[in-house]
Amino acid sequence: MRRGQPRRRGAESVEVAVALPLVILVIFTGFEYGWLVLRSMQLDHVARIGARHAVLSNATAQSVQDRVQSALSEIGIADATVTITPTEPSDAEPGAPVAIEVQVPYASVRLLGLGRLMPLPSTLSGRASMVREPDA
């Protein structure tokens, strides 16, 4: 050590001890938000699958529910709520829209569980709407 320079022994350790938790939190936050976006896109896709089925002339509410639940189980989501508008797709007139909404509590699909450290939604939802086909 040269004369006139203050002793800085251990300063780097203190800097790392302060900065490292913040850097790790930022990285994990990125993971959690990326997961949130992925799950949201998956729910939109599942709703689109349900809407595609719901606009067919032989579709029933139960067949749409079965199709959506099958698609949800493929991506590992079990406790989703599916809403069909109108309630019975066959009640929609040809050319009328049929909408599907799929909602799931975010707590059941979260990745890391950082909800206390960052703002996260309570539910995720996916929506799709298509026009009912004419009866064949």
- 60 in any annotated domain: yes
Q: Smallest Cα–Cα separation from 29: which of 114, 126, 131, 135?
A: 114
Q: Domain range for residue 83?
A: 13-131
- 7 in any annotated domain: no
Distance (Å, whole) CA 40 – CA 25: 22
- 34 in any annotated domain: yes
**Burial group, residue 59, by CB count within 10 angstroms (0-12, 13-18, 19+):** buried
Model-level pTM? Answer: 0.84
- 4 in any annotated domain: no
- 53 in any annotated domain: yes
The DSSP output letter for 99 is E
List the structure tokens of 42: 């998956």
| pLDDT number for residue 5 | 66
Hey, which residues does 84 pair with through a beta bridge? 100
- 57 in any annotated domain: yes
- 2 in any annotated domain: no
Chain segment 10-50, per-residue pLDDT in tens:
888 888 888 999 999 899 999 999 999 999 999 999 999 99
- 5 in any annotated domain: no
Work out the angle at residue 81's Cα, subtended by the Cα atoms of residues 76 and 87, and round it to the nearest 5 degrees: 135
List the structure tokens of 110: 């979260």
Which residue has better confidence, 51 or 57?
Answer: 51
Q: How many domains does the chain have?
A: 1
